[in-house]
């Protein structure tokens, strides 16, 4: 469905308000921002925000309100697009820079080494979680984008599917014989990878629960989302807006604590990769073990890249 006419004629009908903390259910939340959206010039003028050509119709009908839960630290935009309009916006103005553009940036020295390295670490870590033939490990890349992780996982030999809503991306995967599934599906996966997806989704918890029905018992899910501290949002609205929080696009901000709690409340147990790091020639080098294994495990307490294991019922 195309919502562009409704955006002009009745923008209010496309909005929903989220008043309760989506992680812990707390009703007593506080505003950390309550701004007039139409006055936020740095946002509307920024060249990277392509979707503004649609969402500017919304700026006069709702304020930009950002809530923080004092109990768990979850931060979210109160007024967001309802989920069908949210999906439409993503398709109408796909976020991301086209197939291969991130790899091209990497090749030409534009950074991204850490990004590719971390995707490789996850891909190799998956093998040590299951210790079976890669071709027997079924992986779902949920919100796969242009497939940065999908292609790496495929090169490791895993059986990889994607779940995307944007037609250009679905066609791109089809041309490479990578199957796109819609959820709910009959397929079950050993591992679900999802990066930079849940910050876009208004009904985060119902989507997570649906996604977990695709995960086998004792399977793993790796969730990676951007994060920013609330004091930074308050202090430096323009910079924060363009990164972790962005009207109608980046609508949820997890902290390391709220991300872990969200997983636990939905039947997951925090886990971490690790085994593979000491399976090297350096196995008996204690410094390497401390640096790579122990510190790596602790690092997940300070980031919003979290591995979870599905609890067996
Ligand atoms: Zn909360």
CA 213, 215, 216, 220 torsion-angle sign: negative
Per-residue pLDDT tens digits for 53-92: 788 889 889 999 999 999 999 999 999 999 999 988 888 7
- Ligand 1 centroid vs 80 CA: distance in angstroms? 18
What's the CA-to-centroid distance between 120 and ligand 1, angstroms?
A: 33
Record the pTM.
0.90
Structure tokens at 87: 């999906």
Q: Are 222 and 305 in contact (CB under 8 A)?
A: yes
Percent of the chain whose pLDDT exceeds 90: 56
Phi-psi region of 96 (alpha: psi -120 to 50; beta: other; left: phi over 0): left
- Residue among 16, 42, 73 nearest 253 (CA): 73
pLDDT tens-digit profile of 225-240?
999 888 888 888 887 7
106 Cα to the center of ligand 1, angstroms: 37
Distance 68 CA to ligand 1 centre (A): 8
Q: By C-alpha distance, which of 172, 220, 224 is closest to 197?
A: 224
Determine the 3-state secondary structure of 270 from DSSP.
strand
End-to-end Cα spacing for the chain:
39
Mean pLDDT for all residues in the chain: 87
Q: Which of 54-68, 104-118, 140-154, 170-184 bottoms out in mean pLDDT, i.e. has the lowest?
A: 104-118
Tell me the three state secondary structure of residue 146: coil
Ligand 1 center to 64 CA (angstroms): 20
In this prediction, residues 145-168 reach a mean pLDDT of: 95
Q: What is the pLDDT of residues 207-228, one digit of tens each?
A: 999 999 999 999 999 999 999 8
Q: How far is the CA of 7 from the centre of ligand 1 (A)?
A: 31
């Amino acid at each position: 469905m195309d919502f562009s006419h409704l955006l002009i004629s009745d923008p209010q009908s496309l909005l929903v308000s989220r008043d309760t903390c989506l992680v812990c259910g707390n009703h007593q939340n506080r505003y950390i921002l309550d701004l007039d959206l139409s006055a936020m010039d740095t946002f509307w003028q920024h060249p990277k925000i392509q979707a503004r050509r649609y969402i500017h119709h919304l700026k006069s009908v709702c304020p930009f309100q950002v809530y923080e839960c004092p109990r768990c630290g979850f931060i979210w935009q109160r007024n967001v697009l309802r989920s069908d309009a949210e999906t439409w916006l993503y398709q109408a103005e796909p976020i991301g820079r086209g197939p291969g553009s991130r790899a091209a940036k990497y090749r030409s020295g534009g950074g991204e080494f850490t990004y590719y390295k971390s995707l490789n670490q996850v891909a190799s870590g998956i093998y040590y979680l299951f210790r079976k033939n890669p071709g027997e490990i079924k992986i779902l890349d949920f919100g796969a984008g242009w497939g940065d992780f999908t292609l790496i996982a495929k090169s490791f030999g895993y059986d990889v599917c994607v779940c995307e809503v944007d037609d250009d991306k679905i066609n791109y995967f089809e041309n490479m014989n990578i199957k796109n599934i819609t959820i709910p599906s009959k397929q079950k996966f050993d591992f679900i990878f999802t990066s930079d997806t849940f910050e876009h989704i208004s009904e985060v918890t119902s989507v997570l629960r649906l996604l977990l029905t695709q995960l086998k018992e004792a399977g793993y899910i790796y969730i990676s989302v951007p994060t920013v501290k609330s004091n930074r949002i308050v202090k430096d609205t323009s910079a924060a807006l363009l990164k972790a929080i962005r009207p109608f696009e980046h609508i949820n901000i997890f902290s390391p604590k709220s991300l872990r709690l969200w997983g636990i409340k939905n039947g997951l147990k925090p886990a971490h990769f690790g085994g593979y790091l000491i399976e090297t020639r350096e196995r008996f080098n204690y410094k390497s073990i401390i640096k790579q294994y122990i510190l790596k495990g602790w690092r997940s307490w300070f980031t919003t890249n979290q591995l979870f294991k599905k609890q067996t019922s």
